[in-house]
Homo-oligomer: A and B are copies of this chain.
Amino acid sequence: MQLEAKEKNISSSNGPGEVKTRRYTFAEPPNQVKLGSGKVLGPIAIAYETYGNLNKKKDNAILILHALSGDSHAAGWHKGDDKPGWWHSMIGPGKAFDTDRHYIICSNVLGGCMGTTGPSSKDPHTGKPYALDFPIITIGDMVDVQKLLIDSLGIKKLLSVAGGSMGGMQVLQWAASYPEKILSAIPIATGLKHSPQQIAFNEVGRQAIMADPGWNNGDYYGAGQPERGLALARMIGHITYMSDESMEAKFSRRLKNGNYNFSFNPDFEVEGYLHYKGDGFVKRFDANSYLYITKAIDYFDLSGDEDLIPSGKRIDAKFLVISFKSDWLYPPYQSREIVKLLKKRQIDTTYCEIDSSYGHDAFLIEIEEQEHLVKHFLRKVYESGSEA
């Protein structure tokens, strides 16, 4: 599907690597996309940022894919920000994703709440936010929308697609949906399918939101977020992003006030930290987006024999698969399952399990080893791609 893109909004930002924030809306016909559910959605706006410059051959573009609560602001600083983009330490001049050599693109996912169409966007048919009229989406739908963006930028083939967690699922989905469009793929801290334990954690998060009377069956726009429910969902999530070991190192049993409260107020630093994280999340993330995106994650399953690489279909992309030892939410064995499937299809695959104590969050923290792996890998990909 080829859509024409209309540039709607350009804002430039301070920071390294010529950070540009853009928002596109696919407004020319066909302005709709067919979803995995069979429903049709449109028009679709896509918010994205770019870092570095697209070369004349347009063969140096890398698409970065964000996780559940991420957005298109992967690197650099926006005015007023107290911290940079979520993968700032990986993207920039001389970094893993080197903006001196590569053109880095990161777009907010479909269903998100940071510029790309999602449940908080205006439904053109009613002029009000979609809320629960927004259709259930899949990781495949997210990737189909990213494909529209890549096409609109005139990029025939991506040098790489890379991301951790849900970002890694999108990486695998790119390989499944558009193998001819990628020269390489870097799935990090992810798996071929969402396991029942992973689904269970998402479901309790959703229940926390939907049990909040403020959620009001999704119809809360204008009235304020279901704050307690959304904060609780985030608190649950955050436990799964850390490890037993990293929590012990960061908090141990230290008390907030030096003594037990002998009440139900948080006693321990770990409790205070989770509350802080939950409260902060409510200010920046839409509760319905949390529901839609977690559901898309739960539906993710490319574990079947014909899913990732259908038999008879050739895929030339090279893979770099990375996992982290202490990640119990997306444990290394799930990455090894990806590697096993790829090797069975004789795909050029590099695998590294990084010895980190940071749990699932490691993909945002363990920069040095990832930088080394990614740089080396991309050089190999670029060189073999130029030869071809």
B-binding residues in A (CB < 8 A)? 37, 132, 135-136, 193-197, 199-201, 203-204, 206-208, 210-213, 228-229, 232, 235-236, 239, 242-244, 247-248, 250-253, 260, 262-264, 266-271, 274, 291, 295, 298-299, 301, 328, 331
Contact = CB atoms under 8 A, between A and B. Distances in A.
The dominant DSSP class at the A interface is helix
A248 B196 CA distance: 6
A271 B135 contact: no
Contact of A262 (B136, B206, B328): B136
Contact of A232 (B204, B253, B263): B204
A152 B25 CA distance: 78
A154 to B, nearest CB: 34
Contacts of A328: 244, 328
A10 to B, nearest CB: 36
Given A199-B268, A203-B235, 8 more contacts: A37-B262, A132-B264, A196-B253, A196-B269, A197-B248, A199-B270, A199-B271, A211-B212
Nearest to A334: B244
A204 B268 contact: no
Contact of A204 (B239, B263, B295): B239
A200 B274 contact: yes
Given A210-B264, A213-B213, A235-B204, A197 B274 contact: no
A142 to B, nearest CB: 15
A149 to B, nearest CB: 25
A104 to B, nearest CB: 34
Contacts of A212: 211
Contact of A235 (B132, B207, B250, B268): B207
B264 A291 contact: yes
Contacts of A213: 213
Nearest to A132: B264
Contacts of A331: 244
Given A195-B247, A211-B211, A253-B193, A270 B235 contact: no
A197 B240 CA distance: 9
A201 to B, nearest CB: 6
Contacts of A247: 195-197, 200
Contacts of A267: 298-299
A236 B211 CA distance: 14
A6 to B, nearest CB: 30
Contacts of A264: 132, 206, 210, 291, 295
